[in-house]
Amino acid sequence: MQTFSFDTEQDFKAKLRELKAFSHKIQVITPYWVHDVEEILGSSPSPLKFFTLMGCVTGFVAGMGLSLHTVFSWPINTGGKPLVSLLPFSIVAYALCILLGGLFSFAGFLHLTRLPDITNPISIMPQEEYGNKFVILMEN
C-alpha cells in the first residue's frame, strides 16, 4: 500500500489522474467532498436515490392507507364532510412521505457507507486520521 499526501486539492487531483492510469485499487481520503474525484476514478453514481424513493412511496401509501383505514374502521360523520376526504388525507400522506423519505435516506446512507461498524467498535475511532490532508491510498 502506497500513501500520497497533499496539502492542496489541485496537486491531489493532478496526482490522482496520474495514478489512475497505473492502478484501479485506489482510495482517497479528503477533508471535504471533492467533486471531481468520482469523475477521475470513474465510480458509479450513488444508489441512495432508490432508498429515498422507496421511503417516500412507503410514507405516502402508509399515510393514505392509515387515513382510509381509520374512516372505514370508525365511519362517523364529522361536520358533514365526506367520509373519504382525499384532500385532508393527502396532507397526512404528504407528511409521512417526507418523514419516511428522510428516514430511509439516512438508513440508506448508513448502509451504503457501512457506518457505524458495530462488529468492531475500535473502527469507530480510525487509527489513521489524515486531518486536513488530501490523501491517496494505492494498492500495488
Partner 1 sequence: MSENHNKENAFEQLDHDVLKAMGKPSLWYWLALAISSFFFAAGMAAWAYLVYTGFWPTGLNNPVGWGVLITNFVFWVGIAHSGTLISAVLFLFRAKFRSRFNRAAEAMTVIAVSTAGLFPLIHLGRLWIFYFLMPYPNQRQLWPNFRSPLLWDVFAINAYLILSSIFFYVGMIPDLAIVRRNSTGIRKWIYAIFSLGWRGTNEQWKHYSQVYIFLAALATPLVISVHSIVSWDFAMSVVPGWHTTIFAPYFVAGAIFSGIAMVMTLMIPMRKIFSLEKYITADHFESLAKILLFTSLIVGYSYIVEFMLAFYSGNIFEEAIFKYRLTGHYKFLYGMMILCNVLLPLLLFKKSLRRNLFFLFGLSIFVNIGMWLERFVIIVTSLAHEYQPYAWGTYTPQPVEIIITLGSFGMFFTLFLIFLKVLPVLAITEIKETMVAEH
Interface ranges with partner 1 (CB under 8 A): 7-9, 11, 27-34, 37-38, 41, 43, 46, 48-49, 52, 56, 63, 66-67, 70-71, 73-74, 78-79, 81, 85, 88-89, 91-92, 94-96, 98-99, 101-103, 105-106, 108-110, 112-113, 115-117, 123-126, 128-132
**Closer CB to partner 1, residue 21 or residue 76?**
76
Residue in this structure with the C-alpha cell 410514507, named with its chain if needed? 59
Asked whether 23 and 133 are in contact (CB, 8 A), the reply is no
Q: How many other C-beta atoms lie within 10 A of the C-beta of residue 108? A: 19
β-bridge pairing 2-6 and 134-138? antiparallel
Considering the complex, what minimum distance in angstroms separates the CB of residue 82 from partner 1? 9
| H-helix segments, 1-140 | 9-20, 36-41, 48-73, 86-113
CB of residue 35 to partner 1, shortest distance in Å:
8
